[in-house]
């Protein structure tokens, strides 16, 4: 007898499926409450919890993809090994003129050494480069004089009409026997038009190059896709180094939409000579080791007599930060310096999306009577970050912080600040939660009234070009804009 095949009872199937979904929804919520807040700042934990509780299945899936800042055991181990080696090799180096600086700076020097392993180094030459094409020309000239090696590491690298002379100089150096090593962020550079052409042209040179933090699933390389190596540095023969905010691309980032509206990036770089160049080289060596497993030697050189336009005798301390560190080195340095201010604070950041600690430090400084100002772009180049940044303006203005809006269509992309007449910080790090937790960054702390004056001259130029935002103007914005600001502020906390 042939058994009859009966059709399923779809009502029962639907009921069972519904029960399974309800149980899965409940399980995800319970698990999220115990997993998401672990080792995470409260604002970030609350934002992830809110997303997961609102849309459990999709929210938890997004958390699994984007919610962890770990870079993998192998890369973390390499960072640990490199930090230990740097600390060991610099253990006998006296941390510069610590006894001659204000007490609060002495503690920050110690903090930076504890977190980033690099000491304060005296007697460096420093030149401030605030001209976009001028800094490219300065790097090109340095590479043209290279005799031994050139190390280049930038978040974005492009071979275009502005960077062409520098890229040609790197190629020519390799041809004459100079070892040229180049690192660039995989996704950061890939997002710039002409990336395939860059790779093709590099393949025809003697430059040894590698993408940083590559996402190559077929080769077993995968991680949270929005982690970036955002550092910018160039070292020639251990004699001269460059670092700051600028990427190696033309000032409109090779994008037609930027060219149509005349949008260009405004940057600031440092040209360095002296012992601090070895610290730059150590940072490059760490990242080269992370990508290639090759160990490079690092040697320092004393500073020559400062050239025209450069300051001599400047004490500098390099502070690397990023997912390889668990301590958010840049954020701790920033907040410590702001709390130490007594006379003046001038901040410049293209993306000012602070966590609670930095926001409280800045607003508290203004409320206790320290004149505090913030330079930002009038129009951000990034929709989400721009609105998230705007959500903080009311709190800043009400505390007494003066906000200067650099005129559109330019993007004020330089990243630096000055405290009193004591200290300046210049680097690649924005003052946002991405730079504190997700990006590998590099900051240089520079001590002394002379270098502060040089940076103040740059800030004075920004102030002349900018217009000041008032609380009355900000309060008159339509509710729609305020709503978008607040939503984007929430997304900015999803770190």
pLDDT tens digits, 85-98: 888 887 777 777 88
Question: Which contacts (CB < 8 Å, 24+ apart) does range 222-227 have?
Answer: 223/70, 223/71, 223/72, 224/65, 224/66, 224/68, 224/69, 224/70, 224/438, 225/65, 225/66, 225/187, 226/66, 226/438, 227/69, 227/71, 227/323, 227/438, 227/439
Q: Can you tell me the mean pLDDT for 161-165?
A: 98
Main-chain dihedrals φ then ψ at residue 479, nearest 5 degrees: -60, -30
Pick left, alpha or beta for residue 369 (phi over 0 → left; psi -120 to 50 → alpha; otherwise beta).
left
Identify whether 323 is part of a domain.
Answer: no
- pLDDT score of 147: 97
Tell me the average pLDDT across 467-487. 93
Q: Are 164 and 307 found together in one domain?
A: yes
pLDDT at 400 over 90: yes
Residue 233 falls inside a structural domain? yes
Do 371 and 249 fall within a single domain? no
- Residue-number span of the structural domain to which 57 is assigned: 11-66
Quote the Cα angle for 341-364-472, to 5°.
115
Identify any residues that bridge with 467 across adjacent strands, giving them in sequence order. 405
CA dist 117 and 82 (Å) reads 10
pLDDT: which is higher, 97 or 42: 97
pLDDT for the residue numbered 251: 97
Facing residues of 151 across strands?
181, 235
Token duo for residue 261: 């509206």
What are φ and ψ of residue 477, in 5° steps? Answer: -65, 150
Residue 2 lies in a domain: no
Residues 55 and 125 both lie in one domain: no
Shared domain check, 364 and 393: yes
**Is pLDDT larger for residue 112 or for residue 215?**
112
Percent of the residues in the chain that have a pLDDT greater than 90, as a whole number: 71
CA distance 357 to 334: 10
Of 26, 48, 66, the residue at which a domain comes to its end is 66
Strand segments, DSSP code E, in 323-429 are 345-348, 352-353, 372-377, 402-406, 411-412, 416-419, 423-427
Mean pLDDT of the chain: 90
* 371 and 288 belong to one structural domain: no
Domain identity same for 269 and 346: no
pLDDT in the model for residue 271: 98
State how far the Cα of 68 lies from the Cα of 47, in Å rounded to an integer: 14
The answer to whether 384 and 488 are in contact (CB under 8 A) is: yes
CB atoms within 10 A of CB 100: 12
Are residue 128 and residue 262 in the same domain, yes or no?
yes
Asked if 287 contacts 153 with a C-beta cutoff of 8 angstroms, the reply is: yes
For residue range 277-332, list pLDDT tens digits in order. Answer: 999 999 999 999 999 999 999 988 899 999 999 999 999 999 999 987 878 999 99
- Residue 184: how many CB atoms within 10 A of its CB? 25
- CATH number of 445's domain: 3.30.870.10
Max CA-CA distance within the chain?
104
Residue 443: name the closest of 459, 423, 457 by CA: 423
**Count of structural domains within the chain:** 3
Which of 273, 289, 317 is the endpoint of a domain?
317
Please tell me the pTM assigned to this model: 0.90
Phi, psi of 212 (to 5 degrees): -95, 145
Tell me the per-residue pLDDT of 242-262, one tens digit each, with 9 for 90 and over: 999 999 999 999 999 999 999
pLDDT of res. 222: 67
- pLDDT at residue 38 above 80? no
Strands, E, within 175-247: which ranges? Answer: 179-185, 208-212, 228-229, 232-236, 240-244
Say if 388 falls within a structural domain.
yes
Do residues 306 and 371 both lie within one domain?
A: no
**Would you say residue 368 lies in a domain?**
yes
Question: What is the distance between the alpha carbons of residues 418 and 217, in angstroms, rounded to a whole number?
Answer: 43
Find the range with the poorest average confidence among 88-97, 356-365, 399-408: 88-97
- Average pLDDT for residues 139-144, to the nearest whole number? 98
The 8-class DSSP code of residue 239 comes to T
- What's the pLDDT at 490? 76
192 and 211, same structural domain? yes
User: What would the mean pLDDT of 354-375 be, rounded to a whole number?
Assistant: 97
pLDDT score at 386: 93
* Whole-number pLDDT of residue 392: 95
DSSP code, position 350:
S
Band (pLDDT 50/70/90 cuts) for residue 37 is low
């Amino acid at each position: 007898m042939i058994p009859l095949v009966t059709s399923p009872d779809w009502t029962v199937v639907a009921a069972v499926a519904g029960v399974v979904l309800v149980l899965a929804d409940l399980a995800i919520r319970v698990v999220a409450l115990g997993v998401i807040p672990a080792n995470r700042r409260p604002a970030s934990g609350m934002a992830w919890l809110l997303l997961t509780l609102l849309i459990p299945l999709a929210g938890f899936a997004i958390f699994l993809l984007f919610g962890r800042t770990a870079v993998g055991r192998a890369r973390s181990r390499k960072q640990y090994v490199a930090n230990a080696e740097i600390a060991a090799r610099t253990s006998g180096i006296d941390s510069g003129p610590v006894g001659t600086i204000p007490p609060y700076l002495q503690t920050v020097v110690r903090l930076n050494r504890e977190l980033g392993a690099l000491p304060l180094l005296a007697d460096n030459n420093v030149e401030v480069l605030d001209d976009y094409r001028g800094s490219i020309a300065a790097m090109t000239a340095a590479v043209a004089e290279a005799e031994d090696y050139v190390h280049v590491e930038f978040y974005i690298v492009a071979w275009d009409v502005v960077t062409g002379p520098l890229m040609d100089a790197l190629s020519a150096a390799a041809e004459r026997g100079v070892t040229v090593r180049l690192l660039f962020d995989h996704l950061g550079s890939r997002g710039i038009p002409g990336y395939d052409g860059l790779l093709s042209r590099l393949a025809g040179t003697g430059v040894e190059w590698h993408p940083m933090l590559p996402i190559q699933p077929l080769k077993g390389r995968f991680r949270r896709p929005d982690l970036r190596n955002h550092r910018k540095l160039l070292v020639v023969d251990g004699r001269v180094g460059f670092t700051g905010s600028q990427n190696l691309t033309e000032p409109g980032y090779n994008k037609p939409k930027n060219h149509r509206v005349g949008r260009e990036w405004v940057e600031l770089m440092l040209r360095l000579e002296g012992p601090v160049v070895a610290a730059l080289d150590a940072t490059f060596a760490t990242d080269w080791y992370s990508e290639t497993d090759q160990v490079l030697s690092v040697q320092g050189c004393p500073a020559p007599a400062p050239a025209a336009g450069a300051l001599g005798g400047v004490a500098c301390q390099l502070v690397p930060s990023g997912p390889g560190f668990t301590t958010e080195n840049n954020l701790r340095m920033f907040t410590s310096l702001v709390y130490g201010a007594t006379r003046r604070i001038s901040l410049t950041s293209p993306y000012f999306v602070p966590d609670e600690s930095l926001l409280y430090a800045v607003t508290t400084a203004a409320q206790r009577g320290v004149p505090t100002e913030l330079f930002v772009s009038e129009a951000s180049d990034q929709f989400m970050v721009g609105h998230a940044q705007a959500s903080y303006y009311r709190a800043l203005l009400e505390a007494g912080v003066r906000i200067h809006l650099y005129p559109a269509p330019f993007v004020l992309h330089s990243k630096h600040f000055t405290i009193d007449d004591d200290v300046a910080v210049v680097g690649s790090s924005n003052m946002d939660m991405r730079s504190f937790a997700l990006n590998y960054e590099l900051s240089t702390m520079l001590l002394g009234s002379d270098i502060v004056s040089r940076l103040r001259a740059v800030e004075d130029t920004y102030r002349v070009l900018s217009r000041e935002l008032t609380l009355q103007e900000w309060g008159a914005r339509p509710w729609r804009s305020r709503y978008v600001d607040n939503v984007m502020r929430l997304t900015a906390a999803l770190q």
